Structure 1
Amino acid sequence: MKKLAAYIVPLALAAASCAKQPQATQTSTPPATSAPASTFSTPRTFDANLAFGPGKTVELQRPESNKVTFKLMFKNGSMSDPAGKEGLTFTTAQLLTESGSQTMTLAQIKDKLYPMAAQYSVNVDKEVTTFTFSVHQDFLEEFYQMMRGILLTPAFAEEDFKRVISNQQNYVDQVIRASSDEEYSKKALEDLLFRGTNYQHKPEGTSAGVKSITLEDVTNHYRTFFTRHNVMIGVAGNYSPEFLSQLKQDVAQLPETEPTIPAAGRPNQPNGVQVEIIKKSDALGSAIFTGTPMPITRTADEFAALMVANSYLGEHRKSYGKLYDKIRSTRSMNYGDYSYIEWYDNGGSSMLPNPGVPRTSNYFALWIRPVQIAEGLRKQYPELKDITVGHAHFALRLAIREVDNLVRNGMTQEEFELTRKFLRSYMKLYIQTEEKQLGFLMDSQFYGRQDYLQEMDALLEKLTVEDVNNTVKKYWQVNNMFVTIVTDDSEAEPLAEALRENTPSPMSYSNLVKEGLPAEVVAEDNTIATYDLNIKSVKVIDSQDTFK
């Protein structure tokens, strides 16, 4: 854990600027969320629908700020898409931000915004859709009037609809398959994990679903699901009581419909380790994502213990974790390997977690960034000319074995103390901007909390290593998992056969690297190569047949 110790001092200094945060104000009746007297109180449950509706408002007052940020979070994500029109919520949200209002075109709005340095955006996830608006306080009145028009009297212009739907169709048909195999494997895992439920499809939809969406569908969906009854208001920065009052009055003018929000789809339970390999042409490596259902979210106090275990295995894009150390640092197999206990939005470009993606259906996952395929290794190293499978089988075994070791043996007291100290400093970096602070406070309401980060920190403070190890044993296991692998068509069938037969998978090093390996690494490699994965099914799917 020496690498982790090296992180703590600089992180503590960086986090100091974020340590003293202003208190948020919840102006609607909040759920009870006081910190428990013991490490883990009675299991907590909360209906996320209670956080939305008329008057539900989260405030973050910053009188010293020169900006105003406000958000509208609707309890209406992609799981509300009608069957056969998967992607409709995404289309509707995009068109609201990409079509102007009945009094101003999109081009006119953009011309006005440029000198203001103002911005607005929307993010659609499985259960919520969040609009974010940010402007310097000097331009608030003019900016707000334009944004008010977008939300209350959207243009929904035909030409804008054609542009938005064309881009969306291109994404679900082409971009997701071609731009990033890492993101591809991540979305493919959710498709497998939630297959047959309203959580299965990407927020952007399916190929057939997007093709079926019409402009009339969009206007109807807006009136039915973007209403005053399923919205939470958030406002931060240097705003006046008058502005907040106006914002509330205008939100009350949203459509009157009380939407029927479907229950969130529950994850499928894997029978053994179930693998889907997606083959495509010209893939340079094997991108791997694994996951298994996990029945708790931020609502549960036990989540704090899993945060420590997750950080120990490896925070997103941090180089101290066990997975990163074993797979990248020691064996130079790829660019990084990380662990997750909830959905990590935009992980390809985000170094820190994003707010605005709260979910009630959850899973534990591992991300193994692309490792080399046999074809590439054979071309680089003559001594590897006879290998038929690249590094994916070995890497998968190594990662799952590390989780198995943690479940069986737990963390030591020293590992626990170092990881917890790091995590408590690191979490403060999540909220370096007003927009992020506001976002996490709104997410907190979704989970029935007042301030998730503060409450988790209080739980972390009194946590013990026994708490962590017992919670890991309770919620994590490696015998039943889903695995998705995006790889080259030359690798797919040999890899599938190796996995089905559970054949040994010795690590393929070049001679130069092999000569310098420490004896303990060689010994561990031999153990990993025959580690028994509980493989029950392996399917190979053509890339063109995904996300239909």
Structure 2
Amino acid sequence: MKKLIMFLIFGVMMTGSLYSMDEKRIVKEIDKTDPSVSLRIWFKAGAKDDPAGKEGLAMLTAQMLSEGGTARNTYEQILEKMFPMASSYYASASMEMTIFAGRVHKDNLDDYLKLFYEQLLTPAFGEEDFSRIKQNSLNYLKTTLKYSNDEELGKAVLYNNIFAATPYGHITSGTISGLESITLQDVKDFYAKYFNRNNFVLGIGGDVSENLVKQVWDNLMKLPEGKENTFKDFAVKEIKGKKVTIVEKNASATAISMGFPMNLLRGSREWYALAIANSWLGEHRNSSSHLYQVIREQRGLNYGDYSYIENFPNGGRYQLPPVNVARNKQIFEIWIRPVPNETKHFAFRAAMREFKKLVEDGMAKEDFELTRKFLKNYVLNFATTTNERLGYRLDDKFYGISGGHLLTYRKMMDEITLEEVNSAIKKHWQYGNMEIVFITDNAQELTDALASDKPSPISYATPKSQDILEEDKEIINFPVKIDKNSIKTVKVEDLFK
């Protein structure tokens, strides 16, 4: 025993760490010019791990770490102590990743870390915090999402439809019945199972020393013993034909989302090829993209029109792609921001027409050259801070991108050819089989219009060019062909039960 103790002491003296650090589970973004320290702890758990009947548990557990007290401090006391440091920490759960993260100026690091460790290692899981956070989560599903955010509502229904009967089959916020059934003990059990010492990747950035990395690692080793939560693959049901869900509500405008599952992940050469086509078609918040030009710029029907080859949650709030929402199953998605109700059929047709033309004809050389040059420079804006770059490094770890996504992105823009882009379009995109969601009023009228493929005339409050009016004649009669039996109506109050 004495020899064993001496051996352990010698090991600590030599390494400076009580626990042997697993470098494969540590991601560093060292920047000696950054006066702050960024921490991102990725736990391998998310909404896909919600037990059946407890949908929303991963998110609720994360929120308890964000907005709950600890064994030593109430939530209010934590806020009081954080305020003078001008800092904070948070936890957020997505489908496969839960992140516990924070950032602080290095002058306040010692005081900050005490609170950071305390929150993660000794959460109070108090009944009062639990009741407050659970009620807020229910309010979001029952009221906010259904009646105050039609854009996110449409996307939520789209994802639920595409991934029905899979581990992805509910949004991260869960379901109303799932949240209602969750107990405080459920939260404690989820935390104990997934927030363990073998189920995290440590991300740390800024002007950090190796001693600090070891200190953080040693503290994380105080988490409970447990197992790594590895991803278990699953099949996504094939979509046959166009499936339409009309969510009927008293809406002053119509939000439209459509898409289909896509077997392609960031890191592959084909992904970057398809990213060029997607950027041209509907780069998020880019007024030069094609859908934006056709629907918003030329016709003034809405605020914007975008497309995606990766999950982009809360698109209404963010300009650039979010980090640490990585997932093994992605979809292609077109998002038509709310249009006047009388133009919904026309706007839908316009988007389908442009997408069909791209799938059938591919990109033109001029559009390809311009878009790849744009992307090579645009990607420089994706991670301008240490904290953002650290987030991307964690995502690189998730996707297994050894050279880094941002560097690979720019490199691919120099290498990929037009032929590769058009080949990726043909391989991964199609327009015959997809889920389509409308958030609108008068569901029966839209059902009849879609099923009959009747013309969808449009009029404008301001004059349009003759070219636009001529193109409108094609859009008005563009055939979409949707079987009436593939159209269903859902009352908004019946969602997420």
TM bucket normalised to smaller: over 0.9
Distance 1:459 1:124, change over 3 A: same
Distance 1:155 1:517 in 2: 62
1:455 and 2:408 matched? yes
| 1:518 Cα deviation after fit | 2.3
Q: What CA distance in whole angstroms lies between the structure 2 residues aligned with 1:204 and 1:155?
A: 22
Alignment-derived partner of residue 252 in structure 1: 221
1:259-274 map, 5 Å: 260-261=229-230, 263=232, 265-274=234-243
Q: Deviations over 1:331-383 (max 9, x none)?
A: 1111110111111122111011110100110111101011111xxxxxxxxxx
Counterpart position of 1:321 = 289
Matches within 5 A, 1:148-227: 148-227=117-196
1:42-441 alignment runs, 5 A limit:
56-258=25-227, 260-261=229-230, 263=232, 265-281=234-250, 283-373=251-341, 390-441=342-393
**Structure 1, residues 134-193: CA drift from partner, whole Å, max 9, x if none?**
100001011001110111111111111111111111111111101210111011100111
Equivalent position of 2:12 in the other structure:
none
Contact 1:270 1:480 survives alignment (8 Å): yes
Residue from 425, 431, 434 that aligns with 1:472 = 425
Tell me how far apart the structure 2 counterparts of residues 260 and 152 of structure 1 sit (CA, whole Å). Answer: 19
Counterpart CA distance in 1 for 2:211 and 2:203 is 15
Are the aligned partners of 1:334 and 1:369 in contact in 2 as well (CA < 8 Å)? yes
Contact 2:78 2:115 survives alignment (8 Å): yes
1:260 deviates by 4.8
Matched residue of 2:382: which SS?
A: helix
Tell me the alpha carbon deviations over residues 219-243 of structure 1, each in whole angstroms, 9 at most, x when there is no partner: 1110011112221110011122111
Partner of 2:6: none
The answer to whether the Cα contact below 8 Å between 2:205 and 2:386 also exists between their aligned partners in 1 is: yes
Structure 1 contact 194–266 (Cα < 8 Å) conserved: no
For residues 154 and 237 of structure 2, the distance between their equivalents in structure 1, rounded to whole angstroms, comes to 17
CA apart distance, 1:461: 0.9
Q: 2:455 aligns with which of 487, 504, 509?
A: 504
Deviations 1:464-511 (A, max 9, x none): 1111111111110101111011112xx2210111111111212x214x
How far apart, CA to CA, are the structure 1 residues paired with 2:229 and 2:322? 27
CA distance in 1, matches of 2:444, 2:93: 36
Structure 1 distance, partners of 2:226, 2:54, is: 20
Deviation at 1:82, TM superposition (A): 0.2
Aligned to 1:50: none
The CA deviation at 1:55 is 5.2
Q: Which residue of 2 aligns with 1:542?
A: 491
**Which digits, 9 at most, give the CA deviation of each residue in 1:78-111, with x for residues without a partner?**
0000000000111111111222221222222111
How far off is 1:261 after superposition?
4.8
For 1:257 and 1:54, the matched residues in 2 are separated by: 19
* Preserved CA contact (<8 Å) 2:35 2:106: yes
Q: State how far apart, in whole Å, the 1-side matches of 2:235 and 2:471 are.
A: 37
Q: CA deviation at 1:259?
A: 5.1
> What is the CA deviation profile of residues 20-45 of structure 1, one whole-angstrom value per residue up to 9, with x for unaligned ones?
xxxxxxxxxxxxxxxxxxxxxxxxxx
Q: 1:191-217 deviations in whole A, cap 9, x for unaligned?
A: 111111121211111000000000011
The alignment partner of 2:413 has SS state of: helix
Aligned equivalents of 1:123 and 1:154: distance in 2?
15
User: Which ranges of structure 2 fall in alignment gaps of 5 or more residues?
Assistant: 1-21
Asked if 1 retains the 8 angstrom alpha-carbon contact of 2:34 and 2:386, the reply is: no
Q: Deviations over 1:445-479 (max 9, x none)?
A: 11111311111221221111111111111110101
CA distance in 1: counterparts of 2:149 and 2:137, whole angstroms: 17
Q: 2:489 matched to 1:532?
A: no
Q: Does structure 1 retain, via aligned residues, the 8 Å contact 2:199–2:226?
A: no
Residue 14 of structure 1: aligned partner = none
| 1:492 maps to amino acid | A
Write the distance in 1 (CA, Å) between the matches of 2:478 and 2:171.
34
- CA offset at residue 268 of structure 1? 2.9
Partner AA of 2:449 in structure 1? A
Residues 210 and 262 of structure 1: is their aligned pair in 2 closer, same or farther, counting only changes over 3 Å? farther
Q: Which residue of 2 aligns with 1:12?
A: none
Secondary structure in structure 2 of the residue aligned to 1:391: helix
Whole-angstrom distance in 2 between the partners of 1:164 and 1:177? 19
The CA RMSD over aligned residues, in Å, is 1.5
Q: Output aligned runs, 1:16-55, within 5 Å.
A: none
Q: Separation in 1 of the partners of 2:427 and 2:162?
A: 20
Which amino acid in the other structure matches residue 467 of structure 1?
A: E
Paired residue for 2:444? 493
- 1:178 alignment partner, SS class: helix
Amino acid at match of 1:434: T
Contact in 1 for aligned 2:31/2:207 (Cα 8 Å): yes
Structure 2 letter corresponding to 1:531: F
| In structure 1, distance between residues paired with 2:400 and 2:211 | 28
Give me the whole-angstrom Cα distance separating, in 1, the residues matched to 2:120 and 2:413.
41
- Tell me, what secondary structure is at the counterpart of 1:338? strand
Residues in 2 aligned to 1:89 and 1:359: alpha-carbon distance in whole angstroms: 15
Code of the aligned partner of 1:344: F
Paired AA for residue 495 in structure 2:
T
Letter in 2 for 1:245: K
Query: Contact 2:70–2:119 (CA<8 Å) still a contact in 1?
Result: yes
Q: How many residue pairs align between the two structures?
A: 474
* Aligned-partner SS, 1:200: coil
8 Å CA contact 2:450, 2:481 repeated in 1: no
Query: Are 2:466 and 1:519 equivalent residues in the alignment?
Result: yes
Contact kept in structure 2, 1:274 and 1:538, CA below 8 Å: yes
- Does the C-alpha gap of structure 1 residues 293 and 64 become closer, same or farther in structure 2, counting only changes over 3 Å? same
Asked whether the 8 Å contact 1:198–1:264 carries over to 2, the reply is no
SS at match of 2:310: coil
Structure 2: distance between partners of 1:371 and 1:107: 43
The C-alpha deviation readout for 1:285-317, integer Å capped at 9, x for no partner, is 110000111110103221011110011012111
AA at the equivalent of 1:509: S
Contact map agreement 2:356 2:431 (CA 8 A) in 1? yes
Q: For the residues of structure 2 that align with 1:70 and 1:517, how far apart are their CA atoms? A: 53
